[in-house]
Structure 1
Amino acid sequence: MELLSTTLFYLSAFVIVWAMVGYPVSIKLIGKRYKSRKIEKDYHHQPTVTVMVVAHNEEKVIQEKLNNILELEYPKEKIEFLISSDNSTDQTNNMVRDFITKHLEYKIRLYEVKIRKGKTNAQNEAQKTVTTEFLVMTDANSLIDKNAVKELMAAFISDEIAYVTGRLSISNQGASEVSHAESNYWDIDLETREIEGKIQTITAGNGALYACRTKDYYDFNPIQCHDSAMPVFYALKGRRAIANHDAIAYEKAGEVIEDEFGRKVRMNRDIVRDILPDIRILNVFKYKWFSYFYFGHRTCRYLLWIAHLMLLISNILIIQDGWFYILTFCGQVLFYLLALIQAIIKSKSKYLSYIYYYTVTITAQWVGLFRILTGKAKPFWEKAESSR
Structure 2
Amino acid sequence: MTETDFILKNYDLNSIKSGNATWKTPSNIALVKYWGKQEPQIPENTSISFTLDACFTLTTLEYKLKERHSELVSESNHSDFNFEVYFEGEKKDDFKPKIATFFKRIEHYVPFLKDFDFVIESRNSFPHSSGIASSASGMSALALCVMSIERSLSGVEMTDEYFNKKASFLARLGSGSACRSIEGDIIVWGEHSEIKESSDLFGVKFPFKVHKNFKNYHDTILLVDEGEKQVSSTVGHKLMHGHPFAQQRFKQANENISKISEILKNGDLKEFVAIVESEALSLHAMMMTSNPYFILMKPNTLKIINKIWAFRAETNSNICFTLDAGANVHILFPENEKEAVNNFIIKELVQYCQENHYICDRIGFGAKRLSNS
Q: Taking CA–CA contacts closer than 8 Å with sequence separation of 6 or more, which of the two structures ends up with the larger relative contact order?
A: 2
Q: TM-score interval w.r.t. the shorter chain?
A: under 0.3
Q: What's the TM-score, normalizing by structure 1?
A: 0.27
Return the structure number with greater helix share. Answer: 1
TM-score when scaled to structure 2?
0.27
